[in-house]
Amino acid sequence: MKTKVKTVLLQIEKDWCKGCEICTSFCPKDLLRMSEDLNASGFHYAELVEPEACTGCGLCAQMCPDMAIQIWISD
């Protein structure tokens, strides 16, 4: 029997992020951090450290008050 591999794509709109760090607090795998770079508004934005380890649980996207995180999952 062949195991299905789930592909997760997490996209962060860096210019929408205001650097509140809520998403980094809710990631159960601790895969998000604040970048050293600044976005167009002058904020450190969230970035995904290990994309291949993301399970696509969606907590970061649900908690983001600016809707700056989107997740796509495919089988």
Please write the tens of the pLDDT for every residue from 41-72.
999 999 999 999 999 999 999 999 999 999 99
Task: Mention the CATH class of domain 7-74.
Answer: alpha beta
pTM attached to this predicted model? 0.86
Complete DSSP assignment for the chain: -PPPPPEEEEEE-TTT-----HHHHH-TT--EEEEEEE-TTS-EEEEES-GGG-----HHHHH-TT--EEEEEE-
Amino acid identity for residue 31 in this structure: L
Segments making up each domain of the chain, as ranges: 7-74
- Which whole number is the average pLDDT over 11-24? 97
CB 30 within 8 A of CB 68: no
* Model confidence at 20: pLDDT above 90: yes
Place of tokens 């159960």: 28
